[in-house]
Amino acid sequence: MSESWKALGEVFGICLLPAVAMAAGSVLVQYYRPGRLLSTALEQFAAGVVLGALGLDLLSMLSTAHGLTIIAVNAGFISGVIFMFLMGRVVPLFIGDPGDILDLHELQPLQVREKLIDASETLDIKISGPIPMGFVASVMINSVIDGTHRSIIAFEELLLTSRVHNCHRLAGRYRVRVGQWCLGNGHCFGGRNVPGMHCPATANPHLLLIWQPLS
């Protein structure tokens, strides 16, 4: 085996570590959902690690730039900034939020828009755009389990117990991450990202029914 293939295998093995860690984390989160403080601390820790890698590894490589290579460094940096902003702002306008897309692919459309509009009028919530089907299907499955006579009550309980974990601006809108959706009977659902008109924390931290079309 040549040296290049050996080096390639070594790199593949090193890169396999984060892949395994990501898969293990995805499995782990199915059984243990970290709290808000722990997840915030981990995000802060990750920011520090990435900052360290940036400052200690990448920027030290760039310090060798001289002469005309300085132009290449500037061109690469500026193109990186433009590329990331395009990725962050333009792509979601076309394909929407990845979490919602996955939900839409997995679930079938359900006819509950009228009920949601009625509930929104009761709770003074504005609705625009299509219904996010993942959210609706979660409610419908729970409603089927509990019985149809309890569906409207379940809707209202779901709206009032929805927890907003974080919210940040993306592509001119706010991407709101909602965490566990718990009903009054103890049934809870997983978290997902929802594009919204504004952060619900500024209006009502417990309500999230303001969304826009995904496309």
Examine residue 20 and tell whether it contacts other proteins (CB under 8 A). Answer: yes
DSSP 31: H
Q: Which of 106, 211, 103 is nearest to 164 (CA)?
A: 211
As a whole number of angstroms, the distance between CA 28 and CA 46 comes to: 18
State the nearest-atom distance from the C-beta of 85 to other proteins, in Å: 7
Examine residue 86 and tell whether it contacts other proteins (CB under 8 A). Answer: no
As a whole number of angstroms, the distance between CA 157 and CA 136 comes to: 14
Examine residue 19 and tell whether it contacts other proteins (CB under 8 A). Answer: yes
Binding mask 173-202 for other proteins (x = CB under 8 A): ----x---------------------x-x-
Query: What is the H or E stretch that residue 109 is in?
Result: none
Question: Which amino acid is present at 100?
Answer: D
Question: Segment contacting other proteins (CB under 8 A): 63-71, 124-132, 136-144, 145-153?
Answer: 63-71
Examine residue 18 and tell whether it contacts other proteins (CB under 8 A). Answer: yes
Among 28, 29, 55, 121, which residue sits at the site for other proteins (rule: CB under 8 A)? 55
Residues 96-115 that bind other proteins (CB under 8 A): none
As a whole number of angstroms, the distance between CA 36 and CA 4 comes to: 45
Residues with Cβ within 8 Å of residue 209, at least 6 apart in sequence: 116, 119, 120, 123, 125, 126, 127, 159
Among 1, 56, 94, 147, which residue sits at the site for other proteins (rule: CB under 8 A)? 56
Residues making contact with other proteins (CB under 8 A): 4, 7-8, 11-16, 18-20, 22-23, 36-37, 40-59, 61-62, 64-65, 68-69, 71-81, 83-85, 88, 165-169, 177, 199, 201
